[in-house]
Structure 1
Amino acid sequence: MTRFVTKAAALAAAVFPLVGVGVAGAQTQAVDEKTGPVSFANIASVRIGDEGQRGGALITETQRSPLLPGQSKLGADRVSVPKDDGERATFGGHYQIDLGRYSASQNPYPPGIASRDHNVFAALLATTVPTATAETNYALRDNWQGSAEPAANTVLVLEGAKTSVECTGPAKLAATSSVARLWVRQAGGALGIVPVPGGDAGLQLKNLRLGPPGDITNADRATTVSDLKLTRVAAFDQLIRQDGWRGGDHTAVAGWRVEITTHVKDAQGAALQDVRTSIVLGGVSCSVPTGFVAKAATPAGGTTATQAAVPTQVPAGYLGAAAPATDGDGSRVPLGIGLLFGGVFFAAVALLLGKRRKTGSG
């Protein structure tokens, strides 16, 4: 147990370094960690099975806004889900979500969609207004279909997807979920463009050539099909998140939610079981407490205290029975540990700032 806690603490020190909070940063009052304005951003997370039933969830690195003005941004090395064998074991091994950047030989997108880096961040503005954004091109592949060409296994593409939130005040909550074009695998086998649903309307597709997320005994590719529903995230509970991803008195949310029901059949067409998979792409939220008033913007030509970049990223984690233990190299900690040490980091920053304010006033 001691070794486990030591490894977790070492990882937390790497993810939440105290260096970078300069004297200028100390001149700005930190917001309250538990009740103050906050935002979160997550590029993609997955739940296998209905919530509350046996299954598992894979939650990729979640960005949390700092306690001082600044931002936390997802690293460019996250180009797909799953990212490694541990995530693959949780996800099931068949599905893959591509997140924008690709090599020429591994292009999962339709012709004309260029490789790009994602832009995923959670920020606290100088006015203490929390904001978050997630934008990229998403592609959902079913590698169980067995094609050597990546794009031939792609079932769904969200081209030019962007989700964003901004909480300017309790009565000024803004949330948007947009996409330039939607591509879906058609009955004839080709990817085709379908209309983007507006408002709270969803896109429902039946009998897609899409298998289960993992291996199922006697499942047959020729007879197994899936129903898919794509909707905008409209409530905080629709996000797939760690416990530390909190809301507040007034919360705005955005994201794209993909719900898949796979009707698994054998070679004779006999039903074996139904498998539910939920995916949230570009899940973002921001929250402010009752009575929150944003600080006045800095006048033109004025100066304001600034904070050096301080990462506030919650490591990727697992939930549920399907979740593996820690990786052998200690690069991932069980769900909740990263959040725990994130709280230690935030408390340490507040303590450091408090000491500096006392020193300055004494």
Structure 2
Amino acid sequence: MSAPQTLSCIALLALACLAPAAAAGSVPRALRSSGLAPARAPDAAAAPTPESLARDLAAASVSQAEPALAPGPFASLPSPAAAPPAAAPPPPSPTWVTSYTNLTSFLNPGTAYAPPLSAAQRAAAAGLKDWRQGTGTVSAARDFQETGVQTLNCGIGYLNPHFTYYYAGVSATYYAAGQYCGMCLNVTCVDTVCPHAMLDYALFMLVDSCASCEGDDITISAPGLGNITDVDYNINPVMKLAWQPVACNSLITGGIRLWPSTQNNQYFIGINFSNLKELLTSVTLSGIAMAYQSYGYWTINTPGTPIPISAPYTLQLTAQTGETLSLNIPSIIPLDLGVNFS
């Protein structure tokens, strides 16, 4: 299979908005499903290196039962008792910001003017000091159908109704050859242009790399950006965002989805797995280990030699948590596997 083309900065999703616990009585205005707070403020900001991100993501992939985020540079997203009902974000509102000249972070204003913060915003800011901070842009596409992201770098075959509106792309540093495709970013606006900066949060699924992003910059879906920033995405805004990597498992329901490559033949098999509660570390098809590719597919490639397996197949999936799922599939076609990780 040929790798899906790189689109310049198309971005991600998520439908769980998190309200800082320190902001007692202050609830974000739309798509809120939890009262979880950002992690406590650290003594020093974490250095944005691929190694530290890999460590953080490994920790974030483990589900936690505690109803609060654990301390540390990054933390798991606890799983709620039930996922919130799927709902589309609201369309652009007449109250949204439609023009601005600032690109100033409340967390690092420098010499620029920053409006005074409310007590709730000051409390939230203390917990954001260790989050990644970068420039945020909006995706060109306004939304995707459930299989509309297959042409993006992660090749994801299925997005549930939450993530069709909340998806993101990251710089090459954090895309890391696709190994974090399917994880989530917990995102909030820290720019002075945002009327409710640091009070509205949402989870966006990583589905793409962003060619114009550098370091901690990200690009996110238009509906998601509008909902957490109150800025009209039709003006293609650029603003300061803070984010942290977290597990998506609290918003994933149903079975893992199998999506085959259109290039499959007797010498090549490619499969994308989506709707995962945990990221995969290995895949075995009828006893043959599959290799992960930067475009989001697990593959077996034996040029000139037919692959020595046939239907029905045995499939073994292993998650970062160490949990393994073993099942039989009748053929390599689009499938809901009917099972998922814990």
Q: Same fold (TM over 0.5)?
A: no
Higher strand share: 1
User: Normalized against structure 1, the TM-score is what?
Assistant: 0.24
User: Normalized against structure 2, the TM-score is what?
Assistant: 0.25
Higher helix share: 1
